[in-house]
């Protein structure tokens, strides 16, 4: 028995299977469905990571602005010395 794959019994709409067959052919359904699931999982993880990063940036916004204002004079120091 192949331990890398698991056989599933799933129910999908007939029209959806017809579309899959048009794109991949009836003999490659499993491969097509596996690739579609991988794509969806990757996409969902990316959206979740972006959401967490956004929340993290918002949570640290005040602290980041305070730190930036502390170093503002150092950032601007010597900026016009070249001219």
19-73: pLDDT as tens digits: 999 999 888 999 999 999 999 999 999 999 999 999 888 888 888 888 888 777 7
Q: Where are the alpha helices (DSSP H) in the chain?
A: 14-24, 29-59, 61-70, 72-76
Mean pLDDT over 68-82 rounds to: 71
Distances from the Cα of 46 to the Cα of 43, 49, 77, angstroms = 5, 5, 39
16 has pLDDT over 60: yes
Sign of CA dihedral 66, 71, 75, 80: positive
Q: Where in the chain are the domains?
A: 40-74
pTM score: 0.63
């Amino acid at each position: 028995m192949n331990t890398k794959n698991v056989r599933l019994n799933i129910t999908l709409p007939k029209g959806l299977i017809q579309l899959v067959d048009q794109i991949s052919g009836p003999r490659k359904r499993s491969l097509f469905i596996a690739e579609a699931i991988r794509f969806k999982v990757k996409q969902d993880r990316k959206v979740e990571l972006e959401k967490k990063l956004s929340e993290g940036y918002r949570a640290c916004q005040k602290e980041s602005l305070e730190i930036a204002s502390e170093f503002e004079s150092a950032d601007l120091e010597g900026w016009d010395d070249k001219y």
